[in-house]
Every structure is written in C-alpha cells, then in structure tokens.
Chain A
C-alpha cells in the first residue's frame, strides 16, 4: 500500500500526559500537512512542512504542540500535557510539489483525553 499511513490509529490518554503521533506520507511527496478534526466540524489546518522545513503553523497550534519532519520523510506531532480539549481526530496529508496537486489524507489518529 503506497498511501499515507498514520500510527497509532487510536490513542487514549489521561490528562497531563504527553502523546506522539507519526505520519508516513506518500514517498515522492515533499509537502506534508497536519489537520485536526473535531465532532461536527471539518478538518482544520494545524501546520505545513515543505521537505524538512516547517513553513506555517496555525494559531490553533499552542505551545504544547510541536511537529517535526526530520530528513523530509515521516513526520511526528507531539502534544505535551494533554487537555480534554485536545480530544480529536488528527489527520495527516501529503501532496507533490507541483502547484495544486490534491492532498492525500491518511486514516487519522483518534485521540481521547480522559
């Protein structure tokens, strides 16, 4: 399967714990995006990488959130000191370099903070 993969698919954690999610984009795609989707809403943009450079972060991404994309391949999204409001589906997407190529989404990681 050569699509976007995300791990884990589900994560249940207690408030105050740290969590880390991984995204493996389609191999030839150099653009990578993280979105967050809560119940009844559409996905909301969190951050964007072009290769290994993080070029944009949404104001939704508080100081407790950090994302990396070492070597421009897979990406990780870490949430420190989780809060109940962080409960959501975290989606990763990738696209190729050329202009308006559509973004391909992974299956998402569903986070539940108790």
Chain B
C-alpha cells in the first residue's frame, strides 16, 4: 500500500520557468512533510519541509504548499535552474509513530533545460 504517491515519474521544464512537483498521501495521521533532492551516487539532501499546521512554507526559490483536505502537497521551484535537475522525493511522517520515520514517494525526475 503506497501511502505517499508521486504520480509523475518525470518532468521537463525550461530554465527560468516554474517547476511544479506534486505529491499525494493517504494516511491522515501524517503531520509533517518534506521534500528531498537526490543526485546520482549521493544520498538524499533535505530541501524544505512543512508542518500540517501550515499550508505554505517558502525558502528562497522553493515553496511547498499543503492542502490537507485533498491530502496533497506540491513543491514549486521558481525560477528553475539547470542545477535543479535531480530526482525529487516527497516524504511524510507521523508524530504518533514516535520514531519520526519517513515514508517516501517513488520520486519525480526533474530535468531543467538550458
């Protein structure tokens, strides 16, 4: 049972335009969400997070939006740069788990075209 879903395996965007990556979840106990970026041969790198008490969090070019009623979150990258080309993973966690372990989606490969 895939509790965190990223339905778009890949996305191509022109440099300077907006990249929008989407993520859906099914477990209503999730109350913390994160986005990680992964380059080949490296571990995932933390990008941005959002608590369920918020609906938006912004950090420079990156903004995460959370729609709890739809169980949907999205990552906006504006403007997109070639260095943003990577695989992006959405992750969710439930404080009730006690361990704060992450449940990851399957990832979206973003390619930013120069």
Chain A residues near B (Cβ < 8 Å): 4, 31, 33, 35, 40-45, 48, 50, 55-56, 91, 93, 95, 99-100, 102-108
Contacts and interface: CB of A to CB of B under 8 A. Distances in A.
A102 B105 CA distance: 17
Given A55-B99, A95-B100, A100-B32, A41 B43 contact: no
Q: Which of the four size classes fits the interface of chain B?
A: 20 to 34
B93 interface: yes
Interface of B: 4, 6, 32, 34, 36, 41-46, 49, 51, 89, 91, 93, 95, 97-107
B49 A42 contact: no
B43 A42 contact: no
Contact of B100 (A4, A100, A104): A100
B43 A102 contact: no
Contacts of A99: 95, 100
Contacts of A107: 41-43
A105 B44 CA distance: 6
